[in-house]
Structure 1
């Protein structure tokens, strides 16, 4: 009995990482793709706060892409495609697993659509797959060609350029008007006609789980205000009003985020919580977002991806 007790004690006191060795070790590298006004890192703050290191700790090869902070889905998609080719050349891998947040969702879908041979899977997190009412409101308030639109575009292009410069991507073009058009309901519909892979054909259903050898997944939050200490939550609570009561994460309606196999679209998270922001100030009463990424990596691993 003493020997058994000693064994149990040794297991309990073992480092947690040893219990999960290889848990996130996917066959193909994971590439994280940021959303609108996103970045890889600015100083000590990562867009994917704590997520890459958590995935790497248990075996995953993780790369953080850097595309335009604001531009059309197609432009961002071409930038991502270039980086995917570079990652494949550097690693010797034949495919990648793409995980995109927000505008990163359709950005990853573009690459999978035009070069499915290079992509093993696409995971859309809070992805704007059928447009956002927030983008519709912005374009409605400041329609292209108006003075208000000129001012808005100038300010947001400047912001995007600053973000890009601070995160080391100063050479990338920025176009916030094209970003807004891409993220609108009409723009998303046009994009989906050209790149329909994984998109649900019903209002709030699931899409094809696999198309042209690419597996499709999605998950998202559905609560705008989750942490009283997070300075972003009041703004997301305000933008959530654009959805007229429909379930949303503050910037995207839950039904719009659905793609391929829907893991869940109703986590008690907002749009920033989905990437563990702001700096980890998320809903303490919901699964930690870092855990969700680890679970998805393990899901991909178990599928041989």
Structure 2
């Protein structure tokens, strides 16, 4: 029998950078939304700019939160943001805590992304060996093409700055709610009435999905991390993802694996979709 995880407030699944409708034949958030609906949760997927800075996307999210509240009669929402979606969720909660019951960061770059730093430096002539910079850029572009089969938007480079350590640092100076006081620690569980949670993963040691090209790209990108080597999901470092109550930050999941079921999933792979179901039960238990 399926568990009932009807939360007091609707759940909004917030997509990150280069958000899109589908990953190959799969709708973005399809597995997550289906699993949450099956246990009674009321779920919405707001659509933000696929590529823009954190505050612009956060403002767009605020408008859509208002729309959900008007349409459902709810007083608050639970925000679950994947990747850059976590930053948009944090922005919304900071500006409208009266409308947000909780913020959950899933693989969110809450202290920036080393890959974003690396790619940003690659744009400065002479800062990196040309061959290395080109290799990282090709891996990054290949990753995106696996997602939606389209070319990168023309303003992708400008959006990259919003995810660098410096860019997120500036964002954090203005919106510090839920951030840990120490590197690798937990942040405040509750700020201004909003509960904060996070979870993330690291690229699995085992090749749990040999037929999944996205996992191969994340594995290759993970080798370029310096601050968090072998402790990252290919795009975000383990400790960089911490926010509020850290449920766990070393699940055997790459960056996109925390959003969907991997292709040719091996028994050793983490059950990413089950994590969302468990979290819905957690929110329910907290009367959220």
TM-score (norm 1): 0.81
- In the alignment, is the contact (CA less than 8 A) between 2:46 and 2:64 conserved in 1? yes
- In the alignment, is the contact (CA less than 8 A) between 1:50 and 1:276 conserved in 2? yes
Of 231, 249, 257, the match for 1:265: 249
Cα distance in 1, alignment partners of residues 24 and 114 from structure 2: 32
- In the alignment, is the contact (CA less than 8 A) between 1:198 and 1:208 conserved in 2? yes
2:281 aligned partner: 298
Structure with bigger helix share is: 1
SS in 2 for 1:259: coil
- For the structure 1 residues 243 and 208, does the alpha-carbon distance in structure 2 shift closer, same or farther, using more than 3 Å as the test? same
Cα distance in 2, alignment partners of residues 137 and 223 from structure 1: 18
Of 84, 103, 109, the match for 1:122: 103
1:181 is aligned to 2:157: no
SS in 1 for 2:195: strand
Look at both structures and tell me which one has the larger radius of gyration over its CA atoms.
1
Unaligned runs of 5+ in 1: 1-15, 166-172
1:235 is aligned to 2:235: no
Shift of 1:41: 3.9
Deviations 1:178-218 (A, max 9, x none): 32111000001100000000011211111000000000000
Which residues in structure 2 correspond to 1:1-305 (within 5 Å)? 16-17=1-2, 20=3, 22=4, 24-41=5-22, 44-143=25-124, 175-223=155-203, 226-244=208-226, 245-278=229-262, 281-305=264-288
SS in 2 for 1:232: helix
- For the structure 1 residues 300 and 288, does the alpha-carbon distance in structure 2 shift closer, same or farther, using more than 3 Å as the test? same
Larger displacement relative to structure 2 (286-295 or 256-265): 286-295
- In the alignment, is the contact (CA less than 8 A) between 1:71 and 1:174 conserved in 2? no
Cα distance in 2, alignment partners of residues 140 and 103 from structure 1: 20
Cα distance in 1, alignment partners of residues 266 and 62 from structure 2: 34
The number of aligned residues is 269
SS in 2 for 1:243: coil
Root mean square deviation, CA, Å:
2.6
Unaligned runs of 5+ in 2: none
SS in 2 for 1:251: coil
Give the ranges of 4+ consecutive aligned residues of structure 1 lying more than 6 Å apart after TM superposition: none
